[in-house]
Each structure stands twice: as C-alpha cells, then as structure tokens.
Structure 1
Amino acid sequence: MTVSIDPKLLPLLSEYVDPLIGVGLVEAGVVRRASVGWMGGATVEIELGFPSRDHAAALAAALSERITALGLKPSVEVRWRVQPHAVQKNLRPLAQIRNVIAVASGKGGVGKSTVAVNLALALQGEGARVGLLDADIYGPSQPRMLGTSARPTSPDGKIMNPVIAHGLQSMSIGYLIDDAQPTIWRGPMVTSALMQLLTETRWDDLDYLIIDMPPGTGDIALTLSQKIPLSGAVVVTTPQDIALIDARKGLEMFRKVDVAVLGVVENMSLFCCPNCGTQTAIFGSGGGDRLAADTGVDVLGRLPLDARIREQADGGTPTVVADPQSDAAGLYRDIALRAVARLAHGTVTAFPSLSISDD
C-alpha cells in the first residue's frame, strides 16, 4: 500500500508517538493520507487498528494542535477498523469472529475472571463488537458477574444464540446447568464441551471474543490453547512471588503453541484503605515488572485490591458499567486498549511504501 505524505507533514507524523501504539505514526503504518493544499490547508487521515471511540478524538486534537503550530490549517480524521490477526499456523479463524483473545492465569484466585469481563465491557464501550466465552467448565463465574441466569435459545435445536448481558454476547456452561450442580467430568469431556460452546454458538460479527480461560497450565488449558484459534493472550497475576512463578508458566505455555502474549496484568497491586487512604502492597510490589523484564512482554496495567470491584462483580454489574467514571474503570479501559493496540500495531511486519509529494 502506497501512502502519499507531504514533506511538510512527514517529520510531525514520524515523530509523534501515540501513547497506545508506542511508535511514530508513520512507522506504525496508520497514516492513510497527509497532504497540504495550495492555500495552506493540511488534510490528515489516520486509521487505527483497534477500537478508539475516545482515543481517536484525543489523537485528532493532538495532531490538529501540532499542525496549527506549523502555520497550517488542520483537517484531521482519525477512524478505526479492527482487522483479523494471525492465529496458530495449523488452525483456521472462526467464522463471524475477527479475533479471539484468551485471558489466562497460571493459578486460580488472582482475579482473572473479573479482569476478563471488565476488559470485554471496556472494549465494547470503545465501540467494538465483543463476545465473552466462559471457558472455566468446573467453576463458571461469568453468569454471576454478568447478572443473568438466562438460558440460551436454540431455534433449530443445534446452534445456540448467545446470551446478551450488558450488551455483550456471552456463553457459559453456567447457563446450562444449575449453580449447585457440580461438573464431574474428566479432561476430554471438558474439552469437548467447551469446543461445543465455542463452535455451536451463533456469534454475531464480533471484533473480539474474550475467553475467560480455566486457571493453570494443565491438560485442559494446554489442549484449548492448541485447538482454539487465538490472536493473542493476556496473562493475569498478582505481585506475589508464588503467583508470578505460575504466571510465567502460563506465559510460556502460550509461546510454545505460537500464541502472541499481548502483556501482563498485575491485579491486586495495591490496597487502599477506605478509612485512612493508606496504600499497602499486601502481595508485594514490582512483581509484574520483574516478570515483564524476564520474559520480554509489556505490563499492560496494574489494578488495585478494592472491595468495590469485588462487590460490583458479585452483584452482576462489573466495574466498567457499574461506575464507568471511577479510577478503576479507567484502568480497565487503559489495559483493554493497550492489549488490542499491541495486537494491531505491536509488531509491524510490513511497512507501507511511502511516496513523498509536494501536492
């Protein structure tokens, strides 16, 4: 793809580093047009590869300010389009789903499911079409977190319609069994059941399907990572050394099956006392940074240990929709956007050919 960039605008667009992409706009390959008219009007068109309802406006404003400083009259359009990204070599993408992102943890109890549902809702809030698959067959929690006990409908008796909750398309074994009924199945049965939930649900034109993976790196998690076409994975951990050991195993599992790890989320990073405001690193500090440095991945963000997050999830209205203006909701949005920006632009494999023109 050839992009014509006016030499008056080339330095600006090359040097402006978008905070989510992490490199200059030209290097990221997001410039679609950059021209200067004979009357000093500068037209710039940017196309991001991730949902950016709010970020697009901020980027347009930042570029307009810089173009004005050059003595030009800016006309900046920032749009976005989610493209499908590569999956494991031996797998084919799923119909009606452009990208599947696994949210995983090396062990249970680190808040993976709460992170997964809030990331899904955050992406939806930015304008993406999002689905959520609860892959924890033994301990499904998403029906509770989404605040619904609806049963999936099936007009033909073969394919199920997803359950819609807070605008998300969702599916979980929890919709099909009673809360008190244990799932006493061996590994192959669990894997088969999950693949049915994935492939026999009528997902409707999704930009992203977020999968709340079962915890750990055992047979089930490994088999699912090999069978589900994944565009990327996010690993959730706490700063605690024991959790980090297991998180590293989860991260390496994805690498062994050729799944890109988009980054690490450090959950329960700090506890802020609701009475005095004192912040305490109950589970230690710097763990996510050490894991990132040792493995060469990014820390997508850090989330607090906050009773309100737990209460909102238990009450069926996760933080991003229960209190969208809160600091915690903002953190979830930042993490979600960093993850999908990394998926879209983190590794630029083919730069567009540039044509410098005076037109």
Structure 2
Amino acid sequence: MRRGNMEETAGERTNLAGVRHILLVLSGKGGVGKSTLSTELALALRNAGKRVGILDVDLCGPSIPRMLRVQDSAVHQCDSGWVPVFVGQDKAIALMSIGFLLERPDDAVVWRGPKKNALIKQFVTDVAWGDLDFLIVDTPPGTSDEHISTVEALRPHHLLGAVLVTTPQECTNIFSKGGGEELAKHAGVPFLGCVPLDPQLTQSLEEGKDFIQEFPKSSAFPALTHIAQQILDTSQRSS
C-alpha cells in the first residue's frame, strides 16, 4: 500500500511539475463574475506572453468552455492523464473543465459530496498540463468541502494565492462603505481592483471573442490589465 501511495504522489508531481504558479479564483456566492474574471485573467496573461491553463472545477455551472467557444470539444487521455483542450488560434490557453465530461450541463449539481471531491482531486492530479506559467483554478461559488479538496490537492505544489471576486454593494455593517475594497482592508489583503460592468465584456464572452484584444478602449480594459499586472508582479517576487 505504501509503495502505491508513493507512486501516486510521484504521478501528481509529474503532471504539475511544469506549472510555475497556481492561482485560485473564489467567490462567496454565484453570479458575481468569478468565471468571467477567470477567463479574462487567462486572456490578459496570455496576451502578456505567458503560457496559461484554466482548470474549471465549478461543478455548479461550468461556463468557461462556452465563454471560450469550445463547449463542444471532447477530451481524450494520454499515458499521463487527460489532455486539456487548447483554445484560440495560437492554442496558447489550455482548458480542462468538468463541462467536457457531462452529457448535460446540470448533471454535476446533483452529485453527492464524496463524488465531487474525488473528481476535483482527480482533475488536479490527472491532467497533462505540460509547461505553464500560470494555472488558473475556477472554483465553485461559496465555501464547501470542494474548496478544501482543491486546496489540499494543490498544497504540495506552487500555489501563488487566491483572488476573491465580490460585488460592490453593501455586505454587512462592517463592510458598508465599499464592498470588496472595505472587505480587503478589514482582512488585511491587497485590493486588486474594481472591474466596471461593460456590455462589451458580456458581448465578447457570449461570442467567444478575446475581449483584451478586441475592446482595448473599454472602461473594463485597464481594470483587467491592472489586476493581471499585479498578479504578474506577485509571481515575479515569489519566483
């Protein structure tokens, strides 16, 4: 048994050995733009010349394949695990999503906890990512055992940090002055920025376009690139 565990651990190291930085994207509730931000961060980092992967473990509604217009793609396996779907003309973003494995988009919602946790651990360890500068992990909304499973599976690897996505409205009395910014001050963590709501951003996601390249004059563009730059700066300091 011990020998088998050692072999499994070695396999886990192999598939993530070429990933330099892992970034979790979280939200306290659904519908706040977590998957949108995951996708746009990946595009911004790709446009900065970085090799990027997205691991979509949002079992409540895996929307990133649709945002990147690869929802009909099929995944296959190689000797070292699942091969991710490569996105865009330059194939510079590698994507693995639970959505690729479901016959119907809502199938995973009714799964019980142990099945969800087992799949998340398998996703983390069994995807052949190759060499990546960043792996962005889009997690389910809220806080649950699924998040614990994700963090535990990633703990031995190069976890850069986490981005918490929230909305600007009032939360509780403690945070009544500014939503996410006040929350960041209270928690003593950096406030990365505020992305304004922009119909062009929604349009680009619905049409599967690269917002960073297509709408550089949008008010959301500098906000997204500023957040990506702070992540790049943090990754350079941690290297």
TM-score by length of 1: 0.56
Cα deviation for residue 235 of structure 1 reads 0.8
Tell me, in whole angstroms, the C-alpha distance in 2 between the residues paired with 1:178 and 1:321: 33
| Counterpart in the other structure of 1:317 | 209
Tell me, in whole angstroms, the C-alpha distance in 2 between the residues paired with 1:242 and 1:337: 28
Cα deviation for residue 181 of structure 1 reads 4.9
| Counterpart in the other structure of 2:147 | 221
| Counterpart in the other structure of 1:327 | 219
Q: Which has the larger radius of gyration?
A: 1
**Equivalent residue letter for 1:96:** G
Match of 1:140 among 48, 62, 80: 62
Secondary structure at the counterpart of residue 133 of structure 2: strand
Tell me, in whole angstroms, the C-alpha distance in 1 between the residues paired with 2:208 and 2:122: 25
1:42-57, aligned counterparts within 5 Å? none
Cα deviation for residue 310 of structure 1 reads 1.7
**How many residues are paired up?**
219
| Counterpart in the other structure of 1:286 | 178
The answer as to 2:47 corresponding to 1:125 is yes
Q: Deviations over 1:175-197 (max 9, x none)?
A: 12234452221112112112222
Secondary structure at the counterpart of residue 43 of structure 2: helix
Q: Could you tell me whether the CA contact under 8 Å between 2:62 and 2:105 is conserved in 1?
A: no
1:135-214, aligned counterparts within 5 Å? 135-148=57-70, 149-156=72-79, 159-166=81-88, 167-183=92-108, 184-214=110-140
Q: Deviations over 1:105-147 (max 9, x none)?
A: 1111110100011001101111111101101123111110111
The answer as to 2:170 corresponding to 1:241 is yes
More strand by share: 1
Q: CA RMSD in A?
A: 2.6
Change (3 A) 1:168 1:325: farther
Secondary structure at the counterpart of residue 241 of structure 1: coil
Cα deviation for residue 227 of structure 1 reads 2.4
Tell me, in whole angstroms, the C-alpha distance in 1 between the residues paired with 2:145 and 2:39: 24
Runs of 4+ in 1 over 6 A off after TM superposition: none
Please list every run of 5 or more consecutive structure 2 residues that lacks an aligned counterpart in the other structure: 1-11
Match of 1:303 among 166, 179, 195: 195
**Equivalent residue letter for 1:154:** Q
More helix by share: 2
**Equivalent residue letter for 1:160:** W
Cα deviation for residue 228 of structure 1 reads 1.7
**Equivalent residue letter for 2:17:** A
**Per chain length, whose mean CA-contact separation is higher, i.e. which structure has more relative contact order (CA < 8 Å, sep 6+)?**
2
TM-score by length of 2: 0.82
Please list every run of 5 or more consecutive structure 1 residues that lacks an aligned counterpart in the other structure: 1-90, 249-283, 349-359
- Give the stretch that moved more between structures: 315-324 or 202-211: 315-324
- Give the stretch that moved more between structures: 160-169 or 207-216: 160-169
